[in-house]
Amino acid sequence: MKDISKISQHKESINRDLPASRQRGFTLLEVMVSVAIIGMMALVLYPSIINSLETRSLENAGRDILTSLQRAKFEAVKSRINHRVRFDYAHDMWTYYIEREDSPGTWNSMPGFSRRFIPTKFTATVSFPNQIVQFSPLGFVSNYDSTQNSISIQSPKLDRYNQPDLRVISVYIGGSVQFTKAYGGE
């Protein structure tokens, strides 16, 4: 038993005498190889990540418009007051907001709904009569025009990558709103 105890004490003294770099940790070569592998993976995955971020941004912009249109319809039916979504183009940027008709011909911004904007990196085409979608208390579109019933948002970056780069939000006379993805192409 004494021999075993002497052997383990001898091993401990050898381990204490070894330089710190040999006891634990990574060598400089191991760290450099790991960083190189991570760098190559990032280089390969970068276009895919950028493409995903652009797609998500385009989706969010389109879905936000869709939600605003649906909310205006819901508020018109709920409150029995005309509501509308107004699109404005100023300073090279599209903005939109919900208004309600508090008295005949008097439109005010809907409380609790802030003005929203379409990111300037996208190309937006608004095709509504007077750039307005107006919902009646029954949920119908009061100013419906079958030739002017949509808004489209296009991403030039996704177009370059040959990805679905166009989101179209269409509004119909009955108040339904449709969201579609497409290839815009040029």
Q: pLDDT truncated to tens, each residue of the chain (186 aa)?
A: 555 566 556 556 555 655 554 557 889 999 999 999 998 888 887 777 778 889 999 999 999 999 999 999 999 999 999 999 999 999 999 999 999 999 999 999 999 889 999 999 999 999 999 999 999 999 999 999 999 999 999 999 888 888 888 999 999 999 999 999 988 765
CATH pick for 28-182 out of 1.10.4160.10, 2.40.50.180, 3.55.40.10, 3.90.1150.170: 3.55.40.10
Give yes or no for a contact between 121 and 149, defined as CB atoms under 8 angstroms apart.
no
Q: d(Cα 51, Cα 55) in Å, to the nearest integer?
A: 6
Spatial neighbors of 71 by CB under 8 A, at least 6 apart, are: 98, 113
Give yes or no for a contact between 136 and 76, defined as CB atoms under 8 angstroms apart.
yes
Listed in sequence order, the DSSP H helices in the chain are 2-17, 20-23, 28-79, 156-160
The pTM assigned to this predicted structure is 0.75
Instruction: Write out the two tokens for 150.
Output: 């949509």
Q: How many CA atoms lie within 13 A of 22 on its CB side?
A: 6
Euclidean distance between the first and final Cα of the chain, in Å? 86
